[in-house]
Structure 1
Amino acid sequence: MRFDYVAQAALVLIGVIHIVPGIVACAPGRAVAVYGTELGNRDQELLLRHRALLLALVGIGLIAGAFIAPVRVAAIIAAAISMTSFLALALTIGFGELNGKTKRVAWVDVVALIALAASALAFV
Protein backbone atom coordinates (compact mmCIF):
# COMPACT_ATOMS: atom_id res chain seq x y z
CA MET A 1 0.00 0.00 0.00
CA ARG A 2 2.84 2.41 0.81
CA PHE A 3 4.34 1.92 -2.65
CA ASP A 4 1.01 3.03 -4.15
CA TYR A 5 1.68 6.50 -2.78
CA VAL A 6 5.09 6.57 -4.42
CA ALA A 7 3.57 5.37 -7.69
CA GLN A 8 0.86 8.05 -7.45
CA ALA A 9 3.49 10.71 -6.79
CA ALA A 10 5.48 9.49 -9.78
CA LEU A 11 2.40 9.73 -12.03
CA VAL A 12 1.76 13.27 -10.80
CA LEU A 13 5.39 14.25 -11.42
CA ILE A 14 5.37 12.71 -14.91
CA GLY A 15 2.06 14.49 -15.51
CA VAL A 16 3.60 17.82 -14.57
CA ILE A 17 6.54 17.09 -16.88
CA HIS A 18 4.00 16.70 -19.69
CA ILE A 19 2.02 19.80 -18.74
CA VAL A 20 5.01 22.18 -18.64
CA PRO A 21 5.47 22.19 -22.45
CA GLY A 22 1.81 23.19 -22.62
CA ILE A 23 3.10 26.71 -22.02
CA VAL A 24 4.08 26.73 -25.69
CA ALA A 25 0.42 26.26 -26.66
CA CYS A 26 -0.47 29.54 -24.94
CA ALA A 27 2.81 31.39 -25.51
CA PRO A 28 4.46 30.10 -28.71
CA GLY A 29 7.40 32.46 -28.25
CA ARG A 30 8.47 30.26 -25.33
CA ALA A 31 9.36 27.47 -27.79
CA VAL A 32 12.88 28.88 -27.94
CA ALA A 33 13.24 28.60 -24.16
CA VAL A 34 11.66 25.14 -23.93
CA TYR A 35 13.09 23.49 -27.05
CA GLY A 36 15.81 25.82 -28.28
CA THR A 37 13.91 25.99 -31.56
CA GLU A 38 13.00 29.13 -33.46
CA LEU A 39 9.57 29.21 -35.04
CA GLY A 40 10.29 29.73 -38.72
CA ASN A 41 6.70 30.25 -39.86
CA ARG A 42 3.06 30.04 -38.81
CA ASP A 43 2.83 26.37 -39.86
CA GLN A 44 5.64 25.40 -37.49
CA GLU A 45 4.01 27.49 -34.78
CA LEU A 46 0.72 25.65 -35.26
CA LEU A 47 2.42 22.24 -35.16
CA LEU A 48 4.41 23.05 -32.02
CA ARG A 49 1.40 24.55 -30.27
CA HIS A 50 -0.71 21.51 -31.14
CA ARG A 51 2.02 19.19 -29.83
CA ALA A 52 2.20 21.21 -26.64
CA LEU A 53 -1.55 20.98 -26.15
CA LEU A 54 -1.55 17.20 -26.68
CA LEU A 55 1.30 16.78 -24.19
CA ALA A 56 -0.60 18.83 -21.64
CA LEU A 57 -3.66 16.62 -22.13
CA VAL A 58 -1.54 13.51 -21.53
CA GLY A 59 -0.20 15.19 -18.39
CA ILE A 60 -3.69 15.98 -17.12
CA GLY A 61 -4.66 12.38 -17.80
CA LEU A 62 -1.68 11.11 -15.79
CA ILE A 63 -2.51 13.32 -12.84
CA ALA A 64 -6.14 12.20 -12.97
CA GLY A 65 -4.99 8.58 -13.31
CA ALA A 66 -2.88 8.90 -10.18
CA PHE A 67 -6.10 9.26 -8.18
CA ILE A 68 -8.85 7.79 -10.39
CA ALA A 69 -8.20 4.10 -11.04
CA PRO A 70 -10.46 3.74 -14.12
CA VAL A 71 -8.44 6.46 -15.92
CA ARG A 72 -5.04 5.09 -14.91
CA VAL A 73 -4.43 2.42 -17.56
CA ALA A 74 -5.41 4.66 -20.48
CA ALA A 75 -3.29 7.52 -19.13
CA ILE A 76 -0.25 5.30 -18.63
CA ILE A 77 -0.60 3.83 -22.12
CA ALA A 78 -0.98 7.30 -23.69
CA ALA A 79 2.08 8.59 -21.84
CA ALA A 80 4.13 5.52 -22.75
CA ILE A 81 3.22 5.89 -26.43
CA SER A 82 3.98 9.62 -26.32
CA MET A 83 7.42 9.26 -24.77
CA THR A 84 8.42 6.13 -26.69
CA SER A 85 7.43 7.67 -30.02
CA PHE A 86 9.38 10.84 -29.25
CA LEU A 87 12.47 8.80 -28.39
CA ALA A 88 12.07 6.62 -31.49
CA LEU A 89 11.78 9.69 -33.71
CA ALA A 90 14.80 11.28 -32.00
CA LEU A 91 16.83 8.16 -32.74
CA THR A 92 15.56 8.06 -36.32
CA ILE A 93 16.66 11.65 -36.89
CA GLY A 94 19.92 11.02 -35.11
CA PHE A 95 20.47 12.00 -31.51
CA GLY A 96 23.65 13.86 -32.47
CA GLU A 97 21.66 16.08 -34.83
CA LEU A 98 19.51 17.47 -32.03
CA ASN A 99 20.25 20.64 -30.10
CA GLY A 100 21.08 20.50 -26.40
CA LYS A 101 17.58 21.38 -25.20
CA THR A 102 15.93 18.73 -27.34
CA LYS A 103 18.47 16.17 -26.12
CA ARG A 104 17.56 17.18 -22.56
CA VAL A 105 13.87 16.56 -23.36
CA ALA A 106 14.81 13.11 -24.68
CA TRP A 107 16.77 12.23 -21.52
CA VAL A 108 13.92 13.46 -19.32
CA ASP A 109 11.62 11.17 -21.33
CA VAL A 110 13.97 8.22 -20.74
CA VAL A 111 13.90 8.78 -16.97
CA ALA A 112 10.15 9.46 -16.97
CA LEU A 113 9.49 6.32 -19.02
CA ILE A 114 11.38 4.22 -16.47
CA ALA A 115 9.41 5.83 -13.63
CA LEU A 116 6.19 5.30 -15.57
CA ALA A 117 6.96 1.59 -16.00
CA ALA A 118 7.73 1.24 -12.29
CA SER A 119 4.48 3.03 -11.42
CA ALA A 120 2.50 0.84 -13.78
CA LEU A 121 3.95 -2.28 -12.16
CA ALA A 122 3.07 -0.95 -8.72
CA PHE A 123 -0.58 -0.78 -9.65
CA VAL A 124 -0.73 -4.31 -11.06
Structure 2
Amino acid sequence: MFKKFFRYLILGLGLYALIATLVIVFYKDDPQAMIWQDREAYNKRYIEKLKIEDTATLNSVLEYLGSPDLTFAKRDEEQVWQIVFYRTQHKTSDGITTIDECTGLLFKNGQLILWGPSAYDQYLKPG
Protein backbone atom coordinates (compact mmCIF):
# COMPACT_ATOMS: atom_id res chain seq x y z
CA MET A 1 0.00 0.00 0.00
CA PHE A 2 2.73 2.47 0.99
CA LYS A 3 4.74 1.58 -2.12
CA LYS A 4 1.77 2.33 -4.37
CA PHE A 5 1.10 5.64 -2.65
CA PHE A 6 4.77 6.63 -2.89
CA ARG A 7 4.82 5.75 -6.61
CA TYR A 8 1.75 7.93 -7.32
CA LEU A 9 3.21 10.76 -5.23
CA ILE A 10 6.48 10.71 -7.21
CA LEU A 11 4.57 10.49 -10.50
CA GLY A 12 2.34 13.43 -9.51
CA LEU A 13 5.27 15.60 -8.43
CA GLY A 14 7.15 14.77 -11.63
CA LEU A 15 4.11 15.63 -13.76
CA TYR A 16 3.65 18.88 -11.84
CA ALA A 17 7.32 19.82 -12.32
CA LEU A 18 7.08 19.06 -16.05
CA ILE A 19 3.94 21.19 -16.52
CA ALA A 20 5.39 24.06 -14.45
CA THR A 21 8.62 23.99 -16.48
CA LEU A 22 6.71 24.01 -19.79
CA VAL A 23 4.60 26.98 -18.69
CA ILE A 24 7.63 28.96 -17.53
CA VAL A 25 9.59 28.25 -20.72
CA PHE A 26 6.87 28.62 -23.36
CA TYR A 27 4.21 30.97 -21.92
CA LYS A 28 4.78 34.56 -23.07
CA ASP A 29 3.60 37.32 -20.74
CA ASP A 30 0.80 39.39 -22.23
CA PRO A 31 0.97 42.96 -20.90
CA GLN A 32 -2.57 43.68 -22.15
CA ALA A 33 -4.00 40.98 -19.88
CA MET A 34 -2.18 42.12 -16.72
CA ILE A 35 -3.68 44.16 -13.93
CA TRP A 36 -2.22 47.67 -13.89
CA GLN A 37 0.18 47.07 -11.00
CA ASP A 38 1.73 44.03 -12.72
CA ARG A 39 1.93 45.79 -16.07
CA GLU A 40 3.61 48.79 -14.48
CA ALA A 41 6.26 46.54 -12.89
CA TYR A 42 6.65 44.59 -16.16
CA ASN A 43 7.22 47.84 -18.12
CA LYS A 44 9.70 49.13 -15.54
CA ARG A 45 11.73 45.90 -15.55
CA TYR A 46 11.96 45.90 -19.34
CA ILE A 47 12.97 49.56 -19.58
CA GLU A 48 15.55 49.21 -16.78
CA LYS A 49 17.25 46.42 -18.74
CA LEU A 50 17.72 48.54 -21.88
CA LYS A 51 21.30 49.37 -22.80
CA ILE A 52 22.58 51.99 -25.20
CA GLU A 53 24.21 49.23 -27.28
CA ASP A 54 20.81 47.58 -27.85
CA THR A 55 19.43 47.99 -31.32
CA ALA A 56 15.83 48.12 -30.17
CA THR A 57 13.28 49.16 -32.73
CA LEU A 58 9.81 50.55 -32.26
CA ASN A 59 8.33 47.29 -33.51
CA SER A 60 10.36 45.16 -31.09
CA VAL A 61 9.33 47.35 -28.14
CA LEU A 62 5.66 47.27 -29.20
CA GLU A 63 5.85 43.48 -29.57
CA TYR A 64 7.32 43.07 -26.09
CA LEU A 65 5.45 45.74 -24.11
CA GLY A 66 2.24 46.00 -26.14
CA SER A 67 0.39 49.23 -26.82
CA PRO A 68 1.89 52.31 -25.16
CA ASP A 69 -0.10 54.42 -22.74
CA LEU A 70 0.72 57.66 -24.61
CA THR A 71 2.24 58.30 -28.05
CA PHE A 72 3.42 61.39 -29.90
CA ALA A 73 5.04 61.63 -33.35
CA LYS A 74 6.40 64.34 -35.63
CA ARG A 75 8.29 64.66 -38.90
CA ASP A 76 11.32 66.91 -39.18
CA GLU A 77 12.38 67.06 -42.83
CA GLU A 78 13.42 63.44 -43.53
CA GLN A 79 13.44 62.33 -39.89
CA VAL A 80 10.46 60.75 -38.15
CA TRP A 81 10.51 61.19 -34.38
CA GLN A 82 8.20 59.17 -32.18
CA ILE A 83 8.00 59.00 -28.42
CA VAL A 84 6.01 56.31 -26.67
CA PHE A 85 5.23 56.37 -22.97
CA TYR A 86 4.73 53.32 -20.78
CA ARG A 87 3.48 53.72 -17.23
CA THR A 88 6.17 52.80 -14.73
CA GLN A 89 5.16 54.65 -11.54
CA HIS A 90 1.74 55.28 -10.07
CA LYS A 91 1.12 58.79 -8.74
CA THR A 92 -2.61 59.60 -8.56
CA SER A 93 -5.61 57.30 -8.50
CA ASP A 94 -7.69 59.34 -10.91
CA GLY A 95 -8.06 56.81 -13.74
CA ILE A 96 -5.93 58.92 -16.09
CA THR A 97 -2.37 58.06 -17.10
CA THR A 98 -0.21 61.16 -17.35
CA ILE A 99 3.33 61.73 -18.63
CA ASP A 100 4.73 62.09 -15.10
CA GLU A 101 3.59 58.51 -14.36
CA CYS A 102 5.38 57.16 -17.44
CA THR A 103 8.81 56.57 -18.88
CA GLY A 104 9.32 57.81 -22.42
CA LEU A 105 11.16 55.92 -25.15
CA LEU A 106 12.30 58.13 -28.03
CA PHE A 107 12.66 56.67 -31.53
CA LYS A 108 14.27 58.29 -34.55
CA ASN A 109 13.21 56.62 -37.79
CA GLY A 110 12.07 53.58 -35.80
CA GLN A 111 15.33 53.11 -33.84
CA LEU A 112 15.46 53.63 -30.09
CA ILE A 113 17.86 56.47 -29.31
CA LEU A 114 16.94 57.65 -25.81
CA TRP A 115 14.70 56.77 -22.89
CA GLY A 116 13.97 58.19 -19.48
CA PRO A 117 13.24 61.73 -18.27
CA SER A 118 15.31 63.48 -20.95
CA ALA A 119 13.58 61.65 -23.83
CA TYR A 120 10.56 63.97 -23.84
CA ASP A 121 12.76 67.07 -23.60
CA GLN A 122 14.75 65.87 -26.62
CA TYR A 123 11.50 65.18 -28.52
CA LEU A 124 10.26 68.73 -27.86
CA LYS A 125 13.43 70.38 -29.18
CA PRO A 126 12.88 72.02 -32.57
CA GLY A 127 14.84 70.72 -35.58
Same fold (TM over 0.5): no
TM-score with structure 2 setting the length: 0.27
Select the structure with the greater relative contact order (CA < 8 A; seq sep ≥ 6).
1
Structure 1 or 2: more strand by fraction: 2
TM-score with structure 1 setting the length: 0.27
Q: Which one has a bigger Cα radius of gyration?
A: 2
